[in-house]
């Protein structure tokens, strides 16, 4: 069964993870994505390549490029650029994640391609907003985790040095936002017939992503408290150890907590002034989490899951 983007033709000049992650979602929805690579291939092909059938089939590359067609072009050669423009002439979307100066030197800037295809949607992602102070700088996931505040946010949990989240979260989050922006542009063109240029910078995307919950007390002007969602950055917030593993449990409502305290055989905690309702619990999560750590160890993970499921309390095991 064709997907919702069946008939949409995408010329994909993206590389590494951010761009390919975005275009893979378009391909999964039915778009005809033609991935264009240089003769040496996308750099991501070689990341972990020794695990694949050959060195050009790295695991991350394989996980971010399904459902695409492939084309090799050496864009240092004028003839290859002309071939690419020929493809763009009949495309709906041209997408890349190169720095603007480099792409414009190839004659593939928006103003140039608009002459080839006036209704083209031209989308690109870069590290930092083009008109901002860092617009000329290269970017990778580690750099953006640092400058967006993600690495320092990790240090607020345990008081230690800043550290990176063990995921290419800047690439993947920005890739999703790039995909969403493209979907909006496709709908706009369907309504108006007009193409447009889309810029999705990593830093600005990640800053917005973190601030959704961590702007917190600075949501208002003047501020009414510190930045940082207390429950999320609490150093005791972690899966609870059980007799044979770990479990994630999240009683969310007051009714959940009452049932939870009964199941862990501490109904008295429901009347404890520190934990009795959602207006006071956030101030005492450190104490509460430490109490729960000691209470969960005497049953197996499955025993807890069965009890929580019966009481309709959200819980899941920790898998490896």
- The catalytic residue among 12, 32, 42, 171 is 171
Whether a cis peptide bond, with omega within 30° of 0, leads into 222 is yes
φ, ψ dihedrals at 200, nearest 5°: -125, 100
The Cα-based distances of 161 to 151, 155, 213 in angstroms read: 9, 5, 22
Query: Please, are residues 171 and 113 in contact by the beta-carbon 8 Å criterion?
Result: no
Active site residue 171: yes
Query: What's the rounded Cα separation, in Å, for the pair 258 and 276?
Result: 8
The Cα-based distances of 295 to 292, 313, 317 in angstroms read: 5, 16, 16
The Cα-based distances of 242 to 45, 277, 285 in angstroms read: 41, 26, 19
List 240's β-bridge partners, or say none.
247
140 class by beta-carbon count within 10 Å (0-12 exposed, 13-18 middle, 19+ buried) = middle
122 class by beta-carbon count within 10 Å (0-12 exposed, 13-18 middle, 19+ buried) = buried
Query: Please, are residues 35 and 71 in contact by the beta-carbon 8 Å criterion?
Result: yes
Query: What's the rounded Cα separation, in Å, for the pair 258 and 312?
Result: 12
Looking only at Cα atoms, what is the longest distance across the chain? 78
Query: What's the rounded Cα separation, in Å, for the pair 264 and 315?
Result: 14
List 199's β-bridge partners, or say none.
124
Catalytic residues: 171
């Amino acid at each position: 069964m064709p997907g919702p983007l069946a008939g949409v033709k995408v010329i994909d000049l993206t590389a590494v993870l951010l761009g390919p992650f975005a275009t893979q979602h378009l391909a999964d929805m039915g778009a005809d994505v033609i991935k264009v690579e240089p003769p040496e291939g996308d750099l991501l092909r070689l990341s972990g390549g020794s695990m694949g059938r050959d060195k050009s089939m790295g695991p991350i590359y394989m996980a971010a490029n399904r459902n695409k067609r492939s084309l090799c072009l050496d864009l240092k050669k004028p003839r290859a650029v002309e071939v690419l423009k020929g493809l763009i002439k009949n495309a709906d979307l041209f997408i890349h994640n190169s720095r603007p100066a480099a792409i414009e030197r190839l004659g593939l800037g928006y103003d140039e391609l608009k002459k080839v295809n006036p209704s083209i949607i031209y989308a690109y992602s870069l590290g930092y907003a083009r008109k901002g102070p860092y617009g000329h700088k290269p970017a990778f996931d580690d750099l953006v985790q640092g400058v967006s505040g993600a690495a320092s946010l990790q240090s607020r949990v345990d008081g230690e040095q800043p550290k990176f989240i063990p995921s290419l979260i800047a690439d993947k989050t920005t890739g999703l936002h790039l995909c969403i922006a493209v979907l909006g542009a496709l709908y706009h063109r369907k309504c108006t017939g007009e193409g447009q240029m889309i810029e999705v910078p990593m830093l600005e995307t990640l800053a917005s992503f973190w601030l959704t919950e961590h702007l917190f007390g600075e949501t208002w002007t003047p501020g009414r408290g510190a930045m940082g969602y207390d429950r999320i950055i609490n150093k005791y917030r972690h899966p609870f150890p059980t007799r044979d593993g770990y479990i994630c449990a999240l009683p969310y409502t007051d009714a959940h907590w009452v049932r939870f305290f009964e199941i862990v055989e501490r109904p008295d905690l429901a009347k404890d002034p520190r934990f009795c309702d959602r207006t006071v619990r956030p101030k005492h999560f450190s104490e509460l989490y430490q109490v729960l750590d000691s209470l969960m160890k005497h049953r197996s993970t499955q025993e807890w899951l069965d009890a929580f499921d019966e009481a309709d309390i959200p819980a899941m095991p920790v898998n490896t």
